[in-house]
């Protein structure tokens, strides 16, 4: 029997991971990507000798599945060593390290009373011995998604904790406010950190964020620059069409954003359409400046709470990536924006965005303000659909979808919006979809071939 043919539409990290697992099992897999390079939001653009990671900016020590994947394909990850995080509040920078009760007590960014309440909350959380998995929100009890992370933090600790810890962390990592993510997601992450199961040490991929997608691509039949126009069911197979090209497949994995999937798929089952139509995304702009190498010495990331700025949400000293982002006496600082202002700026010219972001950023750090003339626009990336919103209704829809709807008639959806946050979640989603698809493929169709790396 001939191996089943599978098309994977979208070469982000979820789609590439899924395609690799399917190809290793012996299926004939073709990956189609509309952009000229693979990676999606895990990508790097080199300009003027500097590598700009214009989507995901770093890797966390707790990304175990991603680390295993990197080892398998020969991508080297390096620890960035000790990195320093700060929170901006009322004109001052406050070093933030909340890895233990002693660190919380010493954190000057919160009042003494709030620090005491936070320690009590952390102790209670540890005593509960939660075994939650932040990277699979479908596994969490449904009642934890009844309120937002912001409301939960206010109720369990207080509003100061919500405004200066929970909300800035969410806007930095998710690009939207903590009012739009469930309490379950917050508690899962917090309990993992409090128990020591979640290490937020920072790693970098040698060669930039694009290194892992590029290595995966070399093992696959990847066709970049192919803007798929439609995926339709016809005569018991799936017809995938692009300008000047079409082909038939036994199954299709659609691994792009939910809005893009809706445009490609006119013939959806009701449960599939309901899921895709209900998925929401944050929008943002990643803005990068060249700065004097030592202007931000001693820090990695500065969190700027929404109550302190409605424009800038964070900025990251890229010098920790060393050779890719340091040249002579210059390095990069990458700036993230709060969603509301980002949406207003998405349609503006680059020059307008650079100027507004620069003027706002300069007021947060004296090292940058004193070198204002040497803060030079470098590059930027607009993201209309940056990261999914994990609200209660969406989390519940996805949970039901995994039980009924996923894989119907050989159509599989894949991506972080399926309750699998961040890069680690996207890798796990790709692996999960591959396992489910392979479980439905007759054993006789599988061999053990995979393309060798070039």
Beta strands in 165-266 (DSSP E): 202-205, 221-224, 230-234, 237-242, 245-249, 251-254
Find how far residue 381's CA is from the centre of its chain.
15
Q: Quick one: CATH architecture of 5-41+209-280+389-445?
A: 3-Layer(bba) Sandwich (3.50)
Output the pLDDT for position 391: 94
CA-wise closest residue to 418 among 249, 256, 263, 189:
256
Rounded (10°) CA dihedral 211, 214, 218, 219: 80
The set of residues, in sequence order, having a beta carbon less than 8 Å from that of 403 and lying 6+ positions away, is none
Q: In CATH terms, is domain 282-383 a member of 3.90.660.20? A: yes
Q: Helix, strand, coil shares of the chain as percentages rounded to 5? A: 40, 25, 35
Query: What residues are paired with 289 via a beta bridge?
Result: 333, 377
pLDDT in tens, the chain (454 residues): 566 999 999 999 999 999 999 999 999 999 999 999 999 999 999 999 999 999 999 898 889 999 999 999 999 999 876 677 899 999 999 988 766 666 677 788 999 999 999 999 988 988 888 888 999 999 999 999 999 999 999 999 999 999 999 999 999 999 999 999 999 999 998 888 777 666 667 888 999 999 999 999 999 999 999 999 999 998 899 999 999 999 999 999 999 999 999 999 998 999 999 999 999 999 999 999 999 999 998 788 999 999 999 999 999 999 988 778 888 899 999 999 999 999 999 999 999 999 999 999 999 988 899 999 999 999 999 999 999 999 999 999 999 999 999 999 999 999 999 999 999 999 999 999 999 999 988 643 544 444 433 2
Instruction: Write the CB contacts of 174 (distance below 8 Å, at least 6 apart in sequence).
Output: 181, 282, 387, 389, 421
How would you classify the pairing of strands 284-292 and 376-383? antiparallel
Residue 299: the pLDDT is 84
Judge if 96-195 and 282-383 fold alike in CATH terms: no
**DSSP characters over 159-225:** HHHIIIIIHHHHHHHHSS-GGGSBHHHHHHHHHHHHHTS----EEEETT-TTHHHHHHHTTSEEEES
2 forms beta bridges with none
The CATH number of 96-195, from 1.10.3110, 1.20.140, 1.10.10, 2.30.30, is 1.10.3110
Instruction: Label residue 147 left, alpha or beta by phi (over 0 means left) and psi (-120 to 50 means alpha).
Output: beta
8 Å CB contact between 386 and 320:
no
In the chain, domain spans: 5-41+209-280+389-445, 96-195, 282-383
Of 217, 231, 254, 228, the residue nearest 415 (C-alpha)? 254
**167 neighbors 275 (Cβ within 8 angstroms):** no
The reported pTM is 0.94
Consecutive H or E run containing 147: none
Question: In degrees rounded to 5, what are phi and psi of residue 333?
Answer: -120, 125
Q: Are strands 301-303 and 85-89 parallel, antiparallel or unpaired?
A: parallel
Q: Which of 19, 20, 12 is nearest to 43 (CA)?
A: 12
- C-alpha 417/C-alpha 394 separation (Å) is 9
What are the CA-CA distances from residue 18 to residues 265, 402, 406 (Å)? 20, 16, 14
């Amino acid at each position: 029997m001939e191996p089943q043919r599978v098309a994977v539409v979208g070469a982000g990290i979820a789609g590439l991971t899924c395609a690799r697992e399917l190809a290793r099992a012996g299926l004939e897999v073709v990956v189609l990507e509309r952009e000229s390079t693979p990676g999606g939001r895990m990508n790097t653009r080199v300009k003027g000798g500097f590598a700009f990671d214009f989507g995901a900016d770093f890797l966390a020590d707790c990304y175990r599945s991603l680390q295993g994947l990197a080892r398998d394909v020969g991508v080297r990850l390096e620890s960035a060593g000790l990195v320093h995080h700060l929170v901006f509040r009322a004109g001052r920078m406050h070093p933030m390290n909340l890895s233990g009760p002693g660190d919380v007590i010493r954190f000057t960014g919160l009042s003494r009373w709030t620090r005491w309440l936070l320690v009590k909350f952390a102790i209670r959380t540890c005593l509960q011995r939660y075994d939650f998995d932040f990277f699979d929100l479908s596994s969490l009890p449904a009642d934890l998604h009844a309120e937002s992370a912001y409301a939960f933090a206010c109720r369990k600790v207080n509003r100061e904790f919500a405004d200066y810890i929970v909300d800035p962390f969410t806007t930095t990592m998710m690009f939207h406010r903590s009012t739009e993510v469930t309490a379950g997601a917050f508690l899962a992450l917090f309990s993992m950190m409090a128990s020591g199961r979640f290490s937020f040490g920072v790693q970098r991929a040698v060669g930039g964020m694009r290194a892992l997608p590029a290595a995966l691509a070399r093992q696959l039949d990847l066709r970049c620059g192919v803007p798929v126009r439609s995926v339709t069911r016809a005569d018991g197979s799936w017809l995938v069409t692009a300008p000047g090209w079409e082909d038939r497949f036994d199954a299709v994995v659609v691994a792009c954003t939910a809005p893009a999937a809706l445009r490609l798929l006119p013939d959806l089952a009701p449960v599939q359409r309901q899921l895709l139509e209900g998925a929401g995304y944050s929008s943002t702009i990643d803005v990068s400046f060249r700065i004097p190498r030592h202007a931000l010495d001693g820090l990695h990331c500065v969190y700027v709470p929404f109550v302190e700025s409605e424009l800038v949400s964070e900025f990251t000293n890229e010098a920790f990536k060393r050779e890719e982002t340091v040249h002579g006496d210059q390095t990069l600082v990458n700036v993230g924006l709060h969603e509301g202002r980002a949406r207003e700026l998405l349609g503006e010219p680059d020059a307008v965005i650079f100027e507004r972001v620069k003027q706002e950023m300069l007021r947060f750090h004296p090292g940058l303000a004193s070198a204002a003339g040497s803060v030079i626009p470098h590059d930027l990336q607009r993201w209309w659909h940056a990261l999914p919103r994990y609200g209660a209704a969406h989390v519940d829809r996805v949970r039901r979808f995994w039980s009924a709807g996923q894989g119907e008639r050989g159509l599989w959806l894949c991506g972080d919006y399926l309750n699998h946050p961040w890069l680690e979640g996207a890798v796990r989603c790709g692996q999960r979809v591959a396992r489910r698809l392979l479980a439905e493929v007759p054993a006789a169709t599988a061999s053990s071939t995979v393309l060798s790396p070039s």
